[in-house]
């Protein structure tokens, strides 16, 4: 496993840049896919954004650190105002880049099925040059967004190594 402990989220503990763009949204419920030790929940609470929060991660030892409802797969029993995928499937691990990109695509589609208003996700820019990360070009990131919604914004310069994508879920 690529994480040193259950508390390891792949980001420095005080690195919350990726959450800042959530302040622009109005939501009452969040599903955090790839939650790690639920740092998004901590940030929401610290910023006075109180909402129903649930977490998904494949690392069961990490979910034991969370003080919320947790899952090891995306739940399908309800809808969430917002689904977040920050740093999800960002490491190659023991897999291939292609299979990790396919997994990310699948998670985004599953997220679209349970998102009522918004999906927010990140991809790691190719310019980082890391051999351990799943890297995306801007076009690849845009193609992912187009697969799940028609209205999206890509934040290219919010963080040096990642792109953040804000999608408005299509109403039918």
**59-118: pLDDT as tens digits:** 899 999 999 999 999 999 999 999 999 988 887 777 888 999 999 999 999 999 999 999
Q: Is the dihedral of CA 5, 134, 98, 100 positive or negative?
A: positive
Q: Is it the case that residue 5 has pLDDT exceeding 60? A: no
Q: Report the pLDDT averaged over residues 127-133.
A: 71
pLDDT confidence of residue 27: 97
Instruction: Give the integer Cα–Cα distance in Å for 166 and 142.
Output: 11
- Geometric angle at alpha carbon 72, from 69 and 88, rounded to 5°: 100
- Geometric angle at alpha carbon 53, from 161 and 159, rounded to 5°: 10
Q: Report the pLDDT averaged over residues 139-167.
A: 93
Tokens of 48: 């006075």
By the 8 A CB rule, do 159 and 12 touch? no
pLDDT confidence of residue 87: 86
């Amino acid at each position: 496993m690529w994480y040193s402990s259950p508390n390891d989220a792949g980001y420095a503990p005080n690195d919350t840049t990726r959450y800042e763009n959530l302040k622009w949204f109005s939501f009452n419920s969040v599903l955090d896919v790839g939650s790690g030790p639920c740092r998004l929940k901590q940030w929401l609470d610290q910023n006075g954004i109180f909402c129903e929060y649930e977490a998904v991660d494949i690392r069961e030892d990490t979910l034991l650190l969370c003080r919320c409802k947790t899952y090891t797969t995306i739940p399908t029993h309800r809808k969430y105002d917002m689904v977040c995928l920050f740093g999800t499937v960002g490491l190659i691990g023991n897999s291939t880049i292609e299979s990790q990109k396919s997994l990310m695509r699948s998670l985004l589609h599953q997220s679209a099925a349970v998102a009522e208003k918004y999906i927010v996700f990140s991809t790691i820019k190719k310019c980082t040059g890391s051999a351990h990360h799943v890297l995306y070009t801007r076009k690849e990131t845009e193609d992912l967004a187009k697969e799940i919604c028609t209205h999206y914004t890509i934040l290219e310069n919010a963080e040096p190594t990642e792109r953040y994508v804000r999608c408005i879920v299509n109403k039918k």
